Structure 1
């Protein structure tokens, strides 16, 4: 999902790993992590977050500014890091998410937001995974929103644009997951994610908004169906974010700001910043997304 501002600096360790990988050298942390069998107190657990502004943790602020690095990936990293710490295991988190990324730019380069890696995000991710082939690595992927979100701009839905965007997601995500799978080691877990529908917020703007909100759910279901299908083809579980946000639930209605609105509309207005026109999740929404990813992992992961 596309914001407008500068990107935060990536973790220095990530840059080191990518540089060494490009030179054909396995980082010391990866080599050391190979000792001790399948788990053990000294084996490092790694988490790599990939995707767009949701992976980057972008949020607008009430004063018209923004923050990055405060999203689901950070929430998930805190939970996994705490679990690893209880087992006396080191934990490393790397976030390559680039705001504005589409499936095309993720694979081919050209993310419009400043970023530290050269080439494409996919190339950087592949180098990271090759450097950590023997390690326990979790990879989360969210991508596809920017391929279609422009199709609902201006208060109406451009159906040909939407169908073309969904097809771009089908082919682009297939390439992305294929290359990630090829680079990943046997102890790498890749988890994808479907998407909530920010355009449900249009419901509260009147009859035309209700029509847009209704149509947007149909678009969301089509897009999420494609994401789930491609994920399954690559044996990647899909975090069910749309279900967590009750995206299809126009019933029941619930109270919100002195009126009654459908449950799915309330979720969007309470769990994202759409009340001020920002499609990104807020702290509550990002926690819901993190929990959807956790639901696709073993209860004690990493173990």
Structure 2
């Protein structure tokens, strides 16, 4: 009788442990991040070469989610250089997926882990914009290729609903998917030495640096708008980074260096310097959206930049936008 009781007790313990392991495995959750350079935290290294880091906005979001019991594991499927076309079809240099594309890899993961995905974020479309501001050597230029613009807007319009529909179908109706919009680092063209100088363009249309920066804002708005419409149609929530960076706000706020001096409590200079300051204020100073680009990206950095990617301050801002969406 005692032997039987001992055997029953042992069996009960084994069953309890198995149940606990099974429960723990069932509770395991994932955060799946998708996208381009932003999703993998690309920043220039000390030599100015872009490299993936663990300091991207997705890493910060993952850190927040990791504090939620029972913890959330971060799965990063993003890849630097992706645009909407390669996201769907594959083919971006260095972005190799067994399934053929990032979208297909995401679908496979989501289907395999149904019921265990806490969050999906996706940011894509920025490289569709930046591609039109590159010269033959792949370096940023102030001349925007109008044919490239038309082609990429058409491409985004084609890809956006495909991306949204396939992600939603693979994830299921209950999974929270956040679409993250793009900012516009090309606003840094306002910092050209002669910002009102005429810029050469593909169509021989005379345009200033300011005109060109404004034009890229229009393209960005079109890309973000197309993606947002597709995301909304599939029940995504949208983290509006463009709004957070105030890309449309050209209100003059003064030079960054002047702001730094004010923060340090330095007094304004007397005499002629005061007159110069007043004249500069009259001109308007640096637009707020340009200042934000300088503050949150590497575009205005003279040692490692200019680079379109977020710096750590920018990554924190984007993560904050995503986390605000999560809380609401």
TM-score by length of 1: 0.79
Q: 1:282 aligns with which of 295, 305, 311?
A: 311
2:289 match: 264
Give the corresponding residue for 2:62.
77
Q: Secondary structure at the match of 1:191?
A: strand
- CA–CA separation in structure 1 for the residues paired with 2:113 and 2:172: 7
Task: Please name the residue that 1:197 is paired with.
Answer: 184
Cα distance change on mapping 1:125 and 1:114 into 2, 3 Å:
closer
Q: Provide the C-alpha distance between the structure 1 equivalents of 2:172 and 2:25, rounded to a whole number of angstroms.
A: 12
User: What corresponds to 1:14 in structure 2?
Assistant: none
Separation of aligned partners in 1, 2:24 and 2:164: 25
Q: 1:235 to 1:186 in 2, by over 3 A?
A: closer
Moved beyond 6 Å, runs of 4+: none
Say whether residues 1:139 and 2:140 are aligned partners.
Answer: no
Report how many residues are paired. 259
- Pairing 1:52–2:36 present: yes
What is the TM-score normalised by the length of structure 2?
0.74
CA distance in 2, matches of 1:273, 1:174: 31
Question: How far 1:70 sits from its partner (Å)?
Answer: 2.1
Q: Secondary structure at the match of 2:220?
A: helix
Aligned partner of 2:323 in structure 1 is: 294
Confirm or deny: 8 A CA contact 1:34 1:135 kept in the other structure: no
Describe the superposition over 1:142-187 as per-residue Cα deviations: whole angstroms up to 9, x where unpaired. Answer: 1111223122333122233213212211211211111111111344
Gaps of 5+ in 1: 1-30, 36-42
Q: Which residue of 2 aligns with 1:164?
A: 151
- Using the alignment, how far apart are the partners of 2:234 and 2:147 within structure 1? 28
Q: Give the root-mean-square deviation of aligned CA atoms.
A: 2.1
The structural deviation recorded for 1:67 is 3.5
Specify whether residues 127 and 284 from structure 1 end up closer, same or farther in structure 2 by C-alpha distance, changes over 3 A only: same
1:97 alignment partner, one of 70, 73, 78: 78
Q: Can you give the 5+ residue segments of structure 2 that lack an aligned partner in the other structure?
A: 1-21, 135-140, 197-207, 259-279
Q: Give the deviation of 1:233 after TM superposition.
A: 1.3
Is the Cα contact below 8 Å between 1:204 and 1:210 reproduced in 2?
Answer: no
The question of whether the paired residues in 2 share the 8 Å contact of 1:103 and 1:173 is answered with: yes
Matched residue of 1:162: which SS? Answer: helix
Separation in 2 of the partners of 1:131 and 1:272? 36
